[in-house]
Every structure is written in structure tokens, then in C-alpha cells.
Amino acid sequence: MRDYRIIVIPGDNIGPELIDAALPVLEAVTKADEGFRLTFETHPAGAAHYTEHGVAMSKETIETCRTADSVFKAPVGDPSVRTPEGIEAGLLGGILRSDLDLFANVRPVKLYPGAPTPLSGYEPGGIDYVIVRENTEGLYASRGKGVGGPNAVADTLITTRAGTERVVRFAFELAKKRSGAPADGVQRVTCAEKSNVLRSFALFKEVFLEVAAEYPGIEAETIYPDAAAQALIMNPAHYDVLVMENFIGDILSDLGGGTIGGLGMCPGGNIGDRYSYFEPVHGSAPDIAGQGIANPVSQILAGAMLLDHIGEAAAARLLERAVWKALETGAIPIDRRGRLEKGTMAAAGAIIAQL
């Protein structure tokens, strides 16, 4: 019996609802595959924790995350909870990603059955790519470090050769494991960069091409992010793995979510050499908190990513197939806004039934 200790962060607003739906699904996976066991340990963090304690996450919880096999995190934050500088206070990305050196933010974008898409002509699986964001540098490295006054503020974008090289290599290694782009089956890594304007992106592109030369069996290409925003709408099936700076990746991954039924269908992973955590890519949605209508698929698929990362690949594929079948059979109807017609817990129950 393989034992894994997982830290659970329930988050804010819809976060606890998603965790309440996802944990029973993960328990059901362990019963279907009896070779391993998950032990969950809950720790509070986020906007509510900031309001009570003045910090979004305690140092003790950060250290606990270092001792676990992985972290399973629900959405955190609340737009109404701000620092004195006006920045949203309850977010954990800047804390966990930097403190645990989680340099790769992995965001799959995949069209599942029954998920509404504004794009015509795409069947389930016809959109299936992964955005890999550099997670510790870029514009977001300036979080809380902006310089200026009431009339002007500067935030600095930083790109290093070492930081770019490791995330680009991560993207190529990920492409090696995938079956290629839906349109042509070609294993392809696309770099979104603005080298025509900014020196930081010129360095990112330069390092990308250097690393690409080490992977002759994988097609490499570059694209400007504004052009990528168009291409991911007009020809998403061309893409397999995309790698980019943090801020750009944050925007383009949300755009991708809009093509596959909304962000409630989008899981994410934050991965480093030693540590990791997995979460939905979206926020805590205070406007629908407590109504039981939040889509838990993103949280549940984040659980599948977690299983894959800790070495339980068969269980991860089992869970992904259960989600696919539950959606395919209509047991989890999703409206055009990406919201559930039967509720959060009913969706979890439908996936458990498939397991």
C-alpha cells in the first residue's frame, strides 16, 4: 500500500464547496485502485485567514507544505479584501510559488463532451493543448514591489536565462509525453513572446530556440502573444504545448477556458523540482458562493493532475475517463454560461458513479 500525505487548502467563497465535492471523488479513486491511499490534512489560508491574522498563509503552513507529498488547493482570495497598497490580499500564488520555487504553472485546455464552446466544428478532444507559464519571474515577480507614487508607478518585468531555460525544458519534456496536436498529431511546442518590443522577451525567445535544438523530434515555433490570442480562437487544434512568460500565460489560459465551457473546466498545477500544488485556475467567485452551483470539474481534474504527479498515473487516467463519461452521458449538464444545471454535489456524485 502506497501512502501519500496531501495538504488541503479549502480556500474562500466557493473554495470549500469545491473541496467538499472533490475529496469524496478522490477517495472513490483510491477504492477503485486499491494500491494506494491518500491522507488529507486541512490547513486554512487565503482572504479569511488574512482578515483574521494579517497574513494569507502562516509560516507553519508553508513549512507543512514542504513536508507533504503534494498540496490540493481550492480557489482563494476575495476582491473586497485588500492590502493597504490596494492589492488583493488573500492570494497565495506569490507566496507558494516563490517560497516553494514552483517554476512551472501547467494549465491544460481540453474540450470535454457536453461542455459548451462558442467555436463551431470542434468535437470533444478537438481542442487539447497545455499552457506552461513561467511561474517565478516575469511581470508578476514585481508583486508588492512596484515603485512610485500617486501619479506614476513602475512594475518591473524580469527574465533570466536560468529561469527561462528550466521552464522551456519542462515544456519540451511535457510535449514528449503527449500525443501531439489534435489537428495533425505533431508534437509541437509554441513559444508566445513579444521579442519585437521588449528585450526581456528577446532573451526568452533566444533561450527557447537554444533548448528547442536539443529536441529535434519536436516541432518548435514562436508567435507573438497578440497573434496567439487570435490563433487560439481561430485554430486551437494546431496547438499542443505552449510556453510563455507569467502574465501572458495568465491571460491566454483564461482565453482558452472560454473555448471549452468556462474556467470551471480548467485545472492547473504548480510544479517545481521538489514541491507542487494543484488547483482550479479560476478565482473564488464570491457572487455564487453558497449557492451550490459552482462547477467542481476544475477542482476534480486538478486532483487527477495531482495523482499523475505523485506517480499514480493509472488512477489519474481512471479519474479523467470518469469525468469524460459523466459529461458524455449528460449526467453533468452545463449551461452556456458554464454553470451547472444540477449543482456542485450532483456533479461529484455523477463522477463517483462512473468510478
The kind and range of the H/E element at 122 are: none
pLDDT digits (tens, 9 = 90+) for 163-205: 999 999 999 999 999 999 999 999 999 999 999 999 999 999 9
Quote the cell numbers at residue 291: 449557492
Give the pTM.
Answer: 0.95
What sign does the CA torsion over 67, 78, 15, 109 have?
A: negative
For residues 192 and 243, what is the distance between their CA atoms, to the nearest angstrom? 6
Q: What is the pLDDT of residue 144?
A: 80
Q: What distance lies between CA 293 and its chain's CA centroid? A: 21
Cβ atoms 167, 173 nearer than 8 A: no
Residue spans of the chain under pLDDT 50 = none
Q: At what angle do helices 161-177 and 199-212 cross, to 10 degrees?
A: 40
E strands within the chain? Answer: 2-9, 36-42, 70-73, 104-110, 128-134, 147-148, 153-154, 188-192, 219-223, 241-244, 267-271, 276-280
Note the CATH architecture for domain 1-102+274-355.
Answer: 3-Layer(aba) Sandwich (3.40)
Q: What is the pLDDT of residue 13?
A: 96
- Secondary-structure breakdown of the chain: helix, strand, coil percentages, each rounded to the nearest 5: 40, 20, 40
Q: What is the pLDDT of residue 339?
A: 79
For residues 291 and 316, what is the distance between their CA atoms, to the nearest angstrom? 29
Helices (H) and strands (E) in the chain — how many of each? Answer: 11, 12
| Topology of the domain covering 128-147+156-258 | Rossmann fold (3.40.50)
Domain boundaries, the chain: 1-102+274-355, 128-147+156-258
Between β-strands 276-280 and 267-271, what pairing exists: parallel, antiparallel or unpaired?
antiparallel
